[in-house]
Structures are given as structure tokens and as C-alpha cells.
């Protein structure tokens, strides 16, 4: 069993990264954990979209 971590500032980038990993590696996915966090820097809101894929290699 292995894990793969992804971290992006835009949700569409996270989707692209995950879809590329699934297409290229064709893992046996056990679970996907998703998280969003945000913070404020000055007057700007910053977002962090992350995911962890738990999988078995084929």
C-alpha cells in the first residue's frame, strides 16, 4: 500500500494532477482524502486544495 499527495492553489489544477496520476499509473485506488484550507494575507484570501490517494500499485 502506498500514498500519493497532491497540493495546489486552484481546484482545477488539483483535478488535473489527480486525473493525470490515475491515467498514467492506473493504480488500484483504496481511498481518496480531500481537504481545503484558506487563510488571509493582507486583503487577499489564499486557498490550498490538497488530496491524498491511498492505493496499491498494479
Looking at residue 15, its pLDDT comes to: 98
The total number of structural domains that make up the chain = 1
**pLDDT, tens digit, 9 for 90 and up, residues 1-58:** 999 999 999 999 999 999 999 999 999 999 999 999 999 999 999 999 999 999 999 8
Cell reading at 57: 500499485
pTM of the prediction? 0.86
Domain that holds residue 51: 2-56
Burial status of residue 18 (CB atoms within 10 A of its CB: 0-12, 13-18, 19 or more): middle
**pLDDT, tens digit, 9 for 90 and up, residues 23-36:** 999 999 999 999 99
Contacts of 33 (CB under 8 A, 6+ apart): 51, 52, 54
- Distance between CA atoms of 5 and 1, rounded to whole angstroms? 14
Contact 8, 14 (CB under 8 A): yes
Looking at residue 58, its pLDDT comes to: 81
Amino acid at each position: 500500500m502506498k500514498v500519493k499527495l497532491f497540493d495546489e492553489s486552484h481546484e482545477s489544477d488539483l483535478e488535473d494532477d489527480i486525473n493525470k496520476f490515475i491515467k498514467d499509473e492506473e493504480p488500484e485506488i483504496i481511498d481518496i482524502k480531500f481537504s481545503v484550507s484558506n487563510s488571509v494575507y493582507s486583503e487577499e484570501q489564499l486557498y490550498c486544495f490538497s488530496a491524498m490517494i491511498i492505493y496499491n500499485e498494479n
